[in-house]
Amino acid sequence: METYTMRHMRNPAMSPMMGYVNIPVIGNLNVNLLQTNMSLSNYLYPVKDKNGKDKLGLFLHPDVSSKEFLSNIGNREHIGFDATATVLGFGFYTKRDKFWSFDLNVRSNFGFGLPKDLFAFFKDLEVGVGKTYSLSNLNLAGRAYVEAAFGHARDINENIRVGVKIKPLIGIADAQFKFDDVTLFSDKEIVRFSAKASGSVLGNFVQFVDSAGIVQDITTADDFATNDLLGGFGAAIDLGVTWNLDNILENTLGVLVPFSLKGFTASFGITDIGFIRYKNAERVTFDKTISWEGVLIQKDENNDIVYNLDKFTDQFENIENDFRKDGDASRARGLRTTTNLGLEYSFLNNKMSAGLLWSAHYGLPRVFNEWTLSYNLRPTNWFALTLSSSVAHGFFRSAGWAINLTPKYGFALFLGMDYVPLFWTPEFDDLKLIPGRGLPIYSTNINLNFGMSIPLGGNRYHKFPSRKEQKRIAREAAVTDDTAH
């Protein structure tokens, strides 16, 4: 979306059409939830209540077989969460094509992996099959940091535009935990849990207070002065390039092609290449076995399974005493890098376009890939509308939309959402999410984006000349022809 002021966040070469000043804090808010296979359709099933009426029940319901449920679950489910808030930001042009930007952002991301055996354990608990489950693939990771991004973009020639961002970083906290050996044993009257895990906490947001290596207490940021929350420092870089493919082969390589690529634009951007080194890093290990005897499993009035967890959860009250400190030192941690590769075809004098975007989000704890198709409508320089659909997460099972209003003066507004559910469960009285709807059954991801800014003047840059610019070029060409004759 060319009129979107923060489009350079995905690719620093993709400058907006005009300069801007962000409204503090609400200038750019982005929340992104990425999942692999955790749509509600895998966890909700049609069942009967005690009166024989249709209802939706969880996979734990006795009418849902273990085989049916587990056939819809991957060997390892992943969830990733990102959030970005721009506290301060602005961008401006010098000359026609040189764009400069600055953003101060607060960012966080979190991810965890859940092994298939964890879901099998809860499903089989009612039966009491006397089975052992391995949860060794269970892990989690998260971080929070502040970045200051200094960006610049310019044309190399009429076809190629490049951009770069240099980003000093301040780390707040970074934590990673991996369960190396985790087993669950369940029978009708007993559940036994044993785990060996290791992890690290970087920064001063959380500290483990120990005595002879045994953790006595876990303290949080409330116990520290504000300046102690600056846990580490680092740097990152964003790189980007866009190609106007019209005549690029002829102009760049001298290769003649028998077809026209007019209107096609390709782009590639890679963001967050960098790391943060924390001055305080604490490694801990965990080794504990918990037995939960006298399991109470019963059915409520709706025939749903109810578990008594009191005796089990009581054993976690002083769980910090089961951690052991395993040394501390400074340590560096890489960021979650993202690549974006796009292709757009513009037509009707750039009033409309169709696009394809591939995005890959690396790390925490795995790579998430996305393929997105989009249709873009921009009848004027101050209004743009985008409709999209994600291919990787169920083609046309969800849709995305975005609206951008960018007047020359006043306030610019951007509002967008990806993965809007297109399929819903039947409307049951006890499962209404919104009036007239049930629950979204196929949606796995959620993305929300909101921003407000103040435009700085009129249109300063566009890959296609404006009508006024076209008339000026035509007049200059006419004068040149007259002079030649």
State residue 429's pLDDT score: 46
Q: Which of 128-132, 199-203, 276-280, 431-435 has the lowest mean pLDDT?
A: 431-435
464 pLDDT tier (thresholds 50, 70, 90): very low
Q: How far apart are CA 422 and CA 399, in angstroms?
A: 7
Q: Report residue 259 as tokens.
A: 């077809």
412 pLDDT tier (thresholds 50, 70, 90): confident
* Residue 190 one-letter amino acid: I
State residue 434's pLDDT score: 47
Taking CA atoms, 418 is separated from 302, 342, 354, 389, 433, in Å, by 36, 17, 17, 8, 18
Q: Report residue 455 as tokens.
A: 């435009």
Give residue for tokens 């947001």. 205
Q: How far apart are CA 321 and CA 286, in angstroms?
A: 9
Neighbours of 354 (CB within 10 A): 13
State residue 177's pLDDT score: 82
pTM score over 0.85? no
Helices (H), 90-152: 116-124
Q: Report residue 67 as tokens.
A: 């085989």
Q: Could you list the beta-strand ranges (E) of 406-465.
A: 412-421, 446-456
State residue 4's pLDDT score: 80
> What 8-state DSSP symbol labels residue 303?
S
Query: 102-128 in b/e burial notation, b at 16+ Cβ within 10 A?
Result: ebbbbbebbbbbbbbbbbbbbbbbbee
| 8 Å CB contact between 88 and 150 | no
Secondary structure of residue 411 in the 3-state scheme: coil
Q: How far apart are CA 56 and CA 256, in angstroms?
A: 62
433 pLDDT tier (thresholds 50, 70, 90): very low
312 pLDDT tier (thresholds 50, 70, 90): low
Secondary structure of residue 444 in the 3-state scheme: coil
Q: How far apart are CA 87 and CA 96, in angstroms?
A: 28
State the average pLDDT over residues 130-154.
85
Share of the chain above pLDDT 70, in %: 66
Q: How far apart are CA 160 and CA 157, in angstroms?
A: 6
Torsion of CA 330, 332, 333, 334, to 10 degrees: 170
Taking CA atoms, 395 is separated from 36, 150, 388, 391, in Å, by 14, 37, 10, 4
| 8 Å CB contact between 64 and 124 | no
Neighbours of 153 (CB within 10 A): 26
Q: How far apart are CA 119 and CA 77, in angstroms?
A: 10
State residue 133's pLDDT score: 78
